[in-house]
Chains A and B, each alone.
Chain A
Amino acid sequence: MTTFRRMLFALLAVCALVLTACASNSASTSSSDSDSSTASETPGTGGSAIGFLYVGPKDDYGYNQAAAQGAAELGEAFPDYEILEAESVPETAEVEQKAEQMISQGAKIIFTTSYGYKDYALNLAEKHPDVVFLQQGNTLEGDIPNNIGTYFGNVYEPVYLAGIAAGKATTSNKLGYVAAFPIPQTLLNINAFELGAQSVNPDAETYTVFTSAWCDPGKQSQAAESLLNQGVDVLTQHQDCTSTITQAAEKAGASVVGYHADASELAPEGWLTGSEWDWGPLYIDMVTTIDAEEFAGGKYNGNYRVGYKKTADDAVDAPLVQSAFGPSVTDETKTEIAAAKEEISTTGSPFAGPVYDQDGNVVIEDGVIPEYSELESMDYLVQGVVGEIPAS
């Protein structure tokens, strides 16, 4: 009996140790205390470290891992800066705590990489005028402090191109889209996907299911099953964890279009193409701008968006790029996608008018090429999308 007790004690002790280890894994490296905090007049300069805050784990094979990869590339490009990282930081006041820690460790540049960090980033920017905060996603309105910027990519552009592959591949003319919440970014993607498919296959319809969760594999599986049972033969998604739906499509012999990461190894037969993140060049460009003391008033001061279209002072590649093609994509399809990409990167847009909503009303006039700022508040689904925006 006593040995049994002792074993239980040992077990509990191990558990406790492991838990303590888990609790203290974030904000890992503590650099030598910053005596180099010489206040310089340009925000973001004079630091010894760059901080990154992630909302999820760095190895989620999705959004957060992509940001962490960008951070690693940044570290290689700027070996003088120490990269400080904190993962699984919830969208709460913990953002400010973690950022404060990083600032005390010498960070003058901090990347807040989740949509819901914006308000905390704004608070921090007010409190620390000498530190630059870079908010991934979101837009800022009104007076923007000169030490905060937001940036993102025109994510719907590669999604539109993938829609072309889907429109070409379908034989039932039914495409399936598993989405999480009806936020503008998601609606943009669904609409771009359908418009891409329509551009090559006017009969293609996109059946949409919202799961109200960024990663609930149980719900994803149900959504995929429901769509497949309706005759959908191409599945795509806007979810944080993507392998459940990818595998469900492959098991059912359907095609699949990826999002966030290249998951072609999960669907060797059905993989068409997809969109994946490549943040490195954009991160490097931002830090270069800050180092050159050109940040204040520069292009990253709020609402910066990179797309396929490039202008002279907007020469960074879009952070969301097209994934490699799967084996079933024909050369004809690839040619059409290349042509569409060329058009988007010069004069066109996935949302070039006329665009109609589900009720057949014109939402973008014929001949109009909308700017991102006009699209960012998208609150409708286009004609050809089957499904309803859940109202709150």
Chain B
Amino acid sequence: MIVAASTAAGSNLLVVAVLIAGVTAGTSILFAALGETISERAGIINVGTEGCMLCGALGAYAAASATGNPWFGVLAGALAGGLLALVHAYMVLNRGANQLASGLALFFMGLGLTSLFGAPYVSKQVDTFSKVAIPGLSKIPAIGDIFFNQDPLTYLSFVTAPAVWFLLFRTRWGLMLRGAGERGEVLRAYGHSTVKVRYAAVVSGGMLAGIGGAQLALVVALAWFENMVQGRGFIAVALVIFAAWDPIKAMGGAWLFGAALALGPELQVRNAGVNQFLLDALPYVITLVVLIVLARKRLESAPEALADVFEGSRVVSSP
């Protein structure tokens, strides 16, 4: 178990406190959004990301409980998230199922399976992750507290986001993946299978969502509960559009959503006369506003193959 670092001293300033909590809260959403970015870049939407996060959270908690090591938990969380995503990949790629319908079914399946198998873990105690201050960097005023006094999985997300960007935009593999999402026929013309590429994308997307779930269980909640992801997976799916399928922008977006989630308690403990019910709606209001404002523009930067999904489900308002 990692030795706990002291809680940030300078965190009494509202903005700093909200950002500290926002980065921690944003990490699970960020991992899921990065996974969904990979999946959608290959042309497959996984609305069931929430289910992958649930599987990741339970897998992580169960494995940490069995092995006593939270890192094995992270590994198991990734596997569990990836396994569930595999079901989606099969349904969509082999059986030609509607992506949105399959994704929704995937969420309910994840919820059902984790509720069933999670019951014995509800009050089990496991070794979890603690915050670790990075020597030197954590001493920078405000910035140090916000970014460099975090948990190991949040640090991992700092590295993962640029890594996913590099993978997508600077490697041959990324080119193939994006090719599958933009012009599958070109990929096929070169003798590659879009199905294989998409399988890989969907499953690795599920694995990242699983790590997000693991962070929620092993860093934030320190526990497993039925349905504990509470919509963060759906926020992640919306976030991908918000971030225009760009991993680096997803980072900022995830922290923004995290901060929106953290604002409520921070204002309440300062006895600010704000309406908590309104604050609770804030992350979802942000999502809707972003979708309204950016929808048209963003959809132009969407992978071509996604257009089929969107076209197929578009509500026609005029004859």
Which A residues are within 8 Å of any B CB, using their own CB?
Answer: 5, 8, 11-12, 15, 18-19, 21-22, 56-57, 59-61, 88, 176, 207-213, 215-223, 225-230, 232, 241, 243-244, 247-248, 251-252, 265-266, 386-388, 390-392
Question: How near does chain A come to B88, taking the closest CB pair, in angstroms?
Answer: 11
**Complex Cα–Cα for A225 and B19 (A):** 13
**Complex Cα–Cα for A387 and B273 (A):** 8
Q: Note all chain B residues with C-beta closer than 8 A to A8.
A: 86, 90, 94
Question: How near does chain A come to B180, taking the closest CB pair, in angstroms?
Answer: 19
B284 located at the interface, meaning its Cβ lies under 8 Å from any Cβ of chain A in the complex: no
Least CB separation from A240: chain B residue: B225
Q: A5-B94, A222-B21, A223-B265 are in contact. Are A57 and B222 (CB under 8 A)?
A: no
Q: Note all chain B residues with C-beta closer than 8 A to A223.
A: 265, 268
10 closest residue pairs by CB, A with B: A217-B221, A390-B276, A226-B265, A223-B265, A61-B123, A247-B222, A243-B223, A212-B280, A209-B268, A216-B230
Identify 19 residue pairs between A and B in the complex whose beta-carbon atoms are under 8 Å apart, listed by A's number. A12-B90, A15-B113, A18-B116, A19-B112, A22-B113, A61-B123, A210-B276, A211-B265, A215-B225, A217-B221, A219-B261, A222-B25, A229-B11, A229-B269, A244-B221, A247-B223, A388-B276, A391-B275, A391-B277
Q: Note all chain A residues with C-beta closer than 8 A to B216.
A: 217-218
Q: A19-B109, A222-B262, A243-B123 are in contact. Are A212 and B223 (CB under 8 A)?
A: no
Q: How many residues of B contact A (CB 8 A)?
A: 49
Partner of A226, one of B17, B112, B115, B119: B17
Q: Note all chain B residues with C-beta closer than 8 A to A230.
A: 12, 269-270
Least CB separation from A231: chain B residue: B12
Which B residues are within 8 Å of any A CB, using their own CB?
Answer: 4, 7-8, 11-12, 17, 21, 25, 28, 86-87, 90, 94, 109, 112-113, 115-116, 119, 122-123, 125, 130, 216, 220-223, 225-228, 230, 232, 261-262, 264-266, 268-271, 273-277, 280
**Complex Cα–Cα for A211 and B266 (A):** 11
Contact between A12 and B221 (Cβ–Cβ < 8 Å)?
no
Q: Note all chain A residues with C-beta closer than 8 A to B280.
A: 212
Q: Note all chain A residues with C-beta closer than 8 A to B220.
A: 217-218, 221, 244
Q: Note all chain B residues with C-beta closer than 8 A to A266.
A: 125
Contact between A12 and B112 (Cβ–Cβ < 8 Å)?
no
Q: Note all chain A residues with C-beta closer than 8 A to B275.
A: 390-391
Partner of A222, one of B7, B8, B223, B261: B261
